[in-house]
Amino acid sequence: MEEYQNNQGFPTEWLGAWESVNGNPDLYIFQGYDGKYYLLAYSYDKECERGSFSCYNIDSDEEGWYIRAH
């Protein structure tokens, strides 16, 4: 059984756009000008015909990576 222990490539290996199957939400992982990594989620409400964005910081510590509200 292979274990995923080396997460040093994250989030650089995950940079880019990730589309959901139903388009809700779509995710974008990018590196800002400040060198930090961010996750941007775009959701579209079909009933209201309105889209919205949420931005989160991607940070790490000795235990691994985590996402927190921006």
pLDDT one-digit tens code per residue, 11-45: 788 888 888 777 678 899 999 999 999 999 988 88
Total-model pTM: 0.72
Beta strand residue intervals within the chain, DSSP E: 16-18, 26-31, 37-45, 50-61, 64-69
Handedness of CA 20, 4, 57, 14 (dihedral sign): negative
Q: What are phi and psi of 14, to 5 degrees?
A: -105, 5
Residues of the chain with pLDDT > 90, as a percent, come to: 30
Which residue has tokens 């059984």? Answer: 1
